[in-house]
Amino acid sequence: MSQEERAIRILDALGEAYPDAPQTYLRFENPFQLLIATILSAHTTDKSVNSVTPILFERFSTPKALADAPLDEIKEIIRPVGTFNRKAVYIKETARQIVEEFGGEVPDSIERLARLKGVSRKTANVVLSSALGIDEGIVVDTHVARVTRRLGLSESEKPADIERDLIEILPRKRWREYARLLGAHGRQVCTARKPRCDDCVIRHLCPSAGKV
């Protein structure tokens, strides 16, 4: 069985196992909110981000409002997400760039999103796929990266290299689905410390089953 065939079988099985898995676990109402939430989510949990973003967006609901916000006030609101000093600078500067360089609208390409402060390729892919419905790449977060390596679909430790490997294997129409389903599986079954291989619906397709 080729890598391409195995990847499709994996997606088909996970699609049945997680029909209601969300595209992202971050709460948002528009592309700007998801962009800021994703920047805040670096090295912390989605739960902690979701605890602060309603307060942040109620107080500063637009890019202009956030760009003009006092930095100390932003820091106080986002304190629970960790590394809040740096992240406050990032999101304030990102908001300013959106206003001044992009007419108040969130950019719609990886190349332009990457110009924003604190925006990685992963962040850009999250915003494009989950908020704008654009599949320019594949979201590779910690869960997707871990499960992809265990499945033997990539041997790299670097998200950018993992994404390139996946792009070669998967048809574009399934890129968004891959990130959604692998993310759900990584959270619920193929966890970091103790994967539940006995409960895994793709055990028969995984070279790491029972070995982690």
Q: Let me know: does 200 contact 190? Beta carbons within 8 Å.
A: yes
For the annotated catalytic residues, the residue numbers are 122, 141
Answer yes or no: CATH 1.10.1670.10 is held by domain 3-22+138-205.
Answer: yes
Q: What is the pLDDT of residues 159-210, one digit of tens each?
A: 999 999 999 999 999 999 999 999 999 999 999 999 999 999 999 999 999 8
> For the chain, what are the domain ranges?
3-22+138-205, 31-131
Q: What is the largest CA-CA distance in the chain?
A: 57
Q: 31-131 sits in which CATH class? A: mainly alpha
Give me the long-range contacts of 103-111 (CB less than 8 A, separation at least 24): 104/62, 104/63, 104/64, 106/31, 106/32, 106/35, 106/131, 106/132, 108/132, 108/134, 109/134, 109/136, 110/136, 110/137
**Residue 93: pLDDT band with limits 50, 70, 90:** very high
pLDDT exceeds cutoff 90 at 211: no
Euclidean distance between CA atoms 170 and 187, whole angstroms: 22
Q: Give the global pTM.
A: 0.92
> Which 8-state DSSP code applies to residue 118?
T
- pLDDT value of position 13: 98
pLDDT exceeds cutoff 90 at 29: yes
